[in-house]
Amino acid sequence: MSKAETFLDRSMIALVSRISGRTAVALALILYVGGGLILPLTLGWPTLFLVEANLVGAVLAAAVCIGWLMVRVEAGNRRHLVEWTTDLRLLDPEEFEWLVGEVLRREGWTVRETGSQDSPDGNIDLDLTRHGQRSIVQCKRWTAMVVGVDEIRRFLGTLMREHLPANAGIFVTLSSFTEQARKEAQEAGITLVDSSSLYSHIEKVRHAEPCPECGKPMILDRSKHGWWLRCAAGRCSGKRDLSREPGRAIELLMQSD
């Protein structure tokens, strides 16, 4: 993919992940009806241009709708991962990154999955920002092998190349770390997360679900249609229907006393 395509892709994803379904439909209509019909008609374009403008309008409108759906499906998958993953070892490396990303997102970080295959430096799996501070995460879905000091040193090198202090580094693994690796990380300030501390991170965040619109926590509520979660922030209209997930509603009810 060219740089321009990647940029367009990113902008589209950034756009569709911020808007509601209704806005997406409205935008698609504006693009299609406005850009593809009204504008060329008002300008009195010849038929051939008109057909082309119509086509471009339709493609853009479809891109908005499909993009919006894709982002929602992906968010749903992430949520599912944290809620129902009982054995993290079943996850493939990419799913593992997703899971770690979702946990951090619920801890208040803005998370960007870097897609390690494309990046020049395979040592950054997640790029985080919170309160204007940047951190990077390396995820190693190893189960049998223990993470050694060499891995820590390589990660330190990456942090240096990114002009980040060592304490901006988080190393996550499903296995554990060697004594020497722990010592090295502690001296430098790198945060280590092994399988047991990852489990406790998940336990802490698995019940607090963020609003899909603004990321603030959501409150359990009930209407005549059944249980649903609504955003705690007053003016935000973010919500999620729980009518098809009675188990989730029960789980939330049990701990809200």
Q: Contact between 13 and Zn ion (CB under 5 A)?
A: no
Cα 227 from Cα 218, distance rounded (Å): 12
Beta bridge partner(s), residue 221:
228
DSSP letter, residue 168: G
Rounded to a whole number of angstroms, the minimum distance from the CB of residue 234 to Zn ion is 9
Minimum Å gap between C-beta 41 and Zn ion is 39
161 vs 216, beta carbon nearer Zn ion: 216
CA distance 222 to 187: 51
Tell the smallest beta-carbon distance from residue 253 to Zn ion (Å). Answer: 21
Closest CA to 82 of 209, 196, 211: 209
Angle at 228 between CA 225 and CA 234, to 5 degrees: 120
| Footprint of Zn ion on 191-250 (CB under 5 A) | 211, 213-214, 216, 231, 233, 236, 238
Sequence-distant (≥ 6) Cβ neighbours of residue 224 within 8 angstroms? none
Site string for Zn ion, 154-193 (x = CB under 5 A): ----------------------------------------
Q: Which is nearer to Zn ion, 219 or 236 (CB)?
A: 236
Give least dist CB 236 to Zn ion, A.
Answer: 3
- Write phi, then psi, for 165 (nearest 5 degrees): -70, 155
**Which residues would be at the binding site for Zn ion (CB under 5 A)?**
211, 213-214, 216, 231, 233, 236, 238
